[in-house]
Structure 1
């Protein structure tokens, strides 16, 4: 099992591959039910904008609102609210190549592991054991 760092407010914005597809999900690990989904092409563009600080998400106090409107998946706007600190940590990790080459799910699994700035969450059980939730 991979050694996991403790999740913190600064580093809990995470992404994962959906099954063995090219779709990507993004969530705040503190509330992995609320998530946004994007196609591979949208994800690559999104990640590039995050890396070079061209995304310019909306702000609401100490929170950042990430908006995804991926025409390849849906015409509706998806949004995810995370702490500004979590977004900054995600941006630093993205600039360092942390989210390149997200692994697909192993055969028989519904999703790949959640990848966040501080580590990888392989399963729901390890999330609970390592204090991410």
Structure 2
């Protein structure tokens, strides 16, 4: 059984985290697509805190003796899911940065070639 104290802590923490996320989105400091996993996690934790019978059922279904251990496992798994999502995002960003850097290098080379051609044409006039 989850203690009342833990329930209150989970509810307060979930609401505060959700408010912080909404505030960051509102101020354009965080994109919506990156916060979806966090919001889903906050919603799940809030529901589990409000309805502790759900975590008991989940613990029983997973074969875990104490509901608190099931909650810890759920939070750990969610953290790994968010970390994995952010790793994918960072990898995509690094690839895009590399591609853009290469394109920029090619454009600079082309501009320098065209500039040199212009100088040669002006000298020949």
Between structure 1 and structure 2, the one with the greater Rg is 2
TM-score by length of 2: 0.21
Which of the two has greater helix per residue? 2
Structure with a larger share of its residues in strand = 1
When the two structures are superposed, what TM-score results if normalisation uses the length of structure 1? 0.20
